Amino acid sequence: MHIKIDDTVEIITGADAASELRGKVLKVFPDTGKILVEGAAKVYKHVKPNDKNPRGGKLSKEMPIAISNVMLVCPECRERTKTGAKIKEDGSKVRYCKSCNAEIGQLSPAKN
């Protein structure tokens, strides 16, 4: 799984692809290979007024989408990019952007 919570991703296939929608990853479902992306694949549900929503109305909710439908957006160069993994001198493993080489988060901690 190369996508993690709090990553910013861009939708590359499906209904949101045309608008080049970008959003933050809210949840990752490793079992199904799906992720929940803020603002992507929204569905609307009408609800009657209840205790939680005294006014009722229209609730929107994101649906999980396949991880293959998104690409990571590099926080450094702001391009959608592929990531690689490399092992640093201290033994830690990091992800990096294949476009600008910036490190994007640690995959495993340093070995001492």
Residue 72 within binding range of Zn ion, rule CB under 5 A: no
Q: Which is nearer to Zn ion, 69 or 81 (CB)?
A: 81
SS3 of residue 10 by DSSP = strand
Give the binding range for Zn ion (CB under 5 A) out of 35-43, 49-57, 59-67, 100-108.
100-108
d(C-alpha 62, C-alpha 81), whole Å: 23
Q: How far is the CB of 105 from Zn ion (least distance, A)?
A: 12
Report which of 10, 1, 23 is spatially closest to residue 70, judged by C-alpha positions: 10
**Count residues contacting Zn ion (CB under 5 A)?**
7
